[in-house]
Amino acid sequence: MTDLSIKLTRIGSRAVKKAQEENTKKGIPNVYCINGKIVYQLPDGTITEKSPFK
């Protein structure tokens, strides 16, 4: 990786982490794809495959 790509990756990773933390504070689940399955991390830290969205 070049220095620029390393810096951009670092900036992007920090932005994602900040957004995830803000979602948790606001009570919004974080959504991930793990091994091809959509999973939801609820604000209390619980991981579920059932969508919490109506």
For residue 1, the model assigns a pLDDT of 81
Q: pTM of this prediction?
A: 0.79
| Phi, psi dihedral angles at 50 (to 5 degrees) | -85, 125
Q: What is the mean pLDDT of each run of 10 residues along the chain (54 residues)?
A: 95 98 97 97 96 92
How far from each other are the two terminal CA atoms of the chain, in whole angstroms?
42
Asked if 43 contacts 49 with a C-beta cutoff of 8 angstroms, the reply is no
User: Helices (DSSP H) in 1-54: which residue ranges?
Assistant: 3-26
Tokens linked to 48: 């579920």
What pLDDT does residue 54 have?
84
Q: Confirm if 38 and 47 have CB atoms less than 8 A apart.
A: no
